[in-house]
Amino acid sequence: MAVSLAFLAFGTQLGLWFAQIPEVTRRLALDPARLGLGILSIGVIGLIVQPVAGIAIARFGSRRTTRVLLPAFVIAETLLICAPSQLLFFACAALVGVVGMPANIGNNTMAAELEQRYGRPVMSSFHGWFSVGGLAGSL
CA dihedral 118, 116, 100, 130 (to 10 degrees): -40
CA distance 22 to 138: 12
CA distance 21 to 83: 12
Report whether pLDDT(44) > 90.
yes
pLDDT for the residue numbered 100: 97
pLDDT for the residue numbered 106: 96
* 84, 65 Cβ separation under 8 angstroms: no
* 96, 80 Cβ separation under 8 angstroms: yes
Domain of residue 40 covers 2-138
- Mapped onto helix, strand or coil, the DSSP state of residue 84 is coil
Mean pLDDT of the chain: 97
> What is the percent of the chain where pLDDT is above 70?
100
pLDDT for the residue numbered 75: 98
Report whether pLDDT(1) > 90.
no
pLDDT for the residue numbered 74: 97
Q: What letter does residue 129 receive in the DSSP assignment?
A: H
Q: What letter does residue 121 receive in the DSSP assignment?
A: -
Q: Which of 89, 80, 49, 78 is nearest to 65 (CA)?
A: 49
* 48, 102 Cβ separation under 8 angstroms: no
> What is the percent of the chain where pLDDT is above 90?
99
Q: Which of 1, 17, 6, 133 is nearest to 77 (CA)?
A: 17
Q: How many domains does the chain have?
A: 1
Report whether pLDDT(67) > 90.
yes
